[in-house]
Amino acid sequence: MSEILILPGDGIGQEIITQALKVIDCLNADFNLGMTLEHGLVGGSAYDETGSPLPQVTLDVARQCDSILLGAVGGYQWASLERNLRPERGLLELRAEMDLFSNLRPAILYPQLASASTLKEEVVLGLDLMIVRELVSGIYFGKPRGVEVRNGQKYGFNTAAYYESEIRRIGHAAFKIAQLRDKRVCSVDKANVLEVCELWREVMIDVAKDYPNIELTHMYVDNAAMQLVKTPKQFDVIVTSNLFGDVLSDCAAMLTGSIGMLPSASLNQDGFGMYEPIHGSAPDIAGKDIANPLAAILSVAMMLRYSLNQIDLALKIEVAVNTVLDKGYRTQDIATEGSMVVGTNEMGDLVVEALA
Ligand code: IPM
Ligand code: MG
C-alpha cells in the first residue's frame, strides 16, 4: 500500500497528470497496485488559491506520503510577482524542504523516434545516458543573493557554493547508479575557472576511491555541452551541479526528439522521491489537448522503480509506451511524416489500452 501526493501544478501540468492518473487507475484495478492518492496545490495555481506557491498543507501532506507526482509549474500571469511568490519558488522550496538532492534525468532515445531528433539518426540511435544533477544547493540556493544599488547603479549577485558533504552525497548517488549501468561516470565542472568546482573535482576523485570498478572522467561544462551534441553516446552517467545540470539536461532531452518524452526522479537519502517530467508548464499550449503526456506517464514508471520497488509494473508501463509508439501514434511534438497524430487525452487512453 503506498500513498502518493499528486501535484499537477500549472499549464499543461493539469492535463498530462490526468493521463498519468489514468495509468495509475489501471494499475490499481488490473494489477493490484494498491496506490492511494492525495491531491494538492503547488506553483501558480497554489498562489491563486492560497497566496503561497507552496502552501504549508502541501508540505505537511508530502511528509506523510511515500512519493510525489508533479506536473509542472509556471506561467506568464505569475512572472511579474515578487520572486518569493513565483511558481518556481514553490518547486524549489519543495525540493529543498524534502532534501531531494539527487535528481536523475535519463535521456533515452526510443528507436521509433530516431527521425524526430534534430540530430542525425546514427548520432542518437541507442542513446541511453543518465544525468545526475545536484538539486538542493549550488548557485540556486547560495547566499548572499539579491539585487541592490551599489556605486550608484543596480548590482545583481548570486553565490555558487557547495559543502564538501553535499558534493560527496551526490557523488555517491552517481557512482551507485553507474554500478547498475555501464560503470562510467563523467563529472562535469568548470574547475579551470571556479574555486567551487575545484572542490567539486577534488571530492569526486575522493568518492571514486570507494568504487574501484567505475571509471571516473572529468569534463568542463562548455566542452560537455559540445560533446553532448557531437557524440552523445560517449556518456554513461554524467554527474554535475545544480545549474550545469539544469542546462545540460534540456540539451540531452532534445537529443531524444522531444523534451515531452523524459521523466525525472528527485530523491532524498531515504529513497523518498518526487517524480516529474523534465519539461515545463508550456503555457502557450496549455488546455489545447496537444501536450505530450508520455513524460508524465513515464514518471509514474520511474516512481515504481525507484521509490516503490515495483519494477515489474514500471516495465509494464514502459512496454505499453513502446507499443503505442510502435503502432505509429504520436503527439504533435514527436510527429514525423506518416505518423498518426493524436491529442493528449487520446495518447493517455492508448497507453492504458496497451497496458490493460
Ligand atoms: C527544471 C526547471 C526548474 C529548474 C525551474 C522550473 C525552477 O527548469 O526542473 O529543470 O530550474 O530547476
Ligand atoms: Mg530546467
- Domains, the chain, in order of start with CATH, read 1-101+268-356 (3.40.718.10), 105-261 (3.40.718.10)
Q: 15 Cβ partners below 8 Å, 6+ apart?
A: 286, 287, 289, 291, 293, 344, 345
pLDDT in tens, 164-191: 999 999 999 999 999 999 999 999 999 9
Answer whether residue 3 shows pLDDT above 90.
Answer: yes
Ligand 1, closest atom to CA 72? 6
Ligand 1 center to residue 92 CA distance, Å? 8
CA of 280 to the centre of ligand 1 (A): 8
Instruction: Please state the pTM of the whole predicted model.
Output: 0.95
- Output the pLDDT for position 345: 98
Nearest to 333 by CA among 300, 289, 297, 302: 289
**Average pLDDT, integer, range 198-218:** 98
Q: State the average pLDDT for the chain.
A: 96
- pLDDT tens for residues 254-296? 899 888 899 999 999 998 999 999 999 999 999 999 999 999 9
Query: Which residue's entry shows cell 556518456?
Result: 235
Q: pLDDT, tens digit, for every residue of 136-166? A: 999 999 999 999 999 999 999 999 999 999 9
* Whether the predicted pLDDT of 116 surpasses 90: no
Q: Which atom of ligand 1 is nearest to the CA of 73?
A: 6
Cα(72)–Cα(296) distance, integer angstroms: 10
Let me know if 110 is a catalytic residue. no
pLDDT at 259: 87
Q: What is the pLDDT of residues 294-341, one digit of tens each?
A: 999 999 999 999 999 999 999 999 999 999 999 999 999 999 888 999
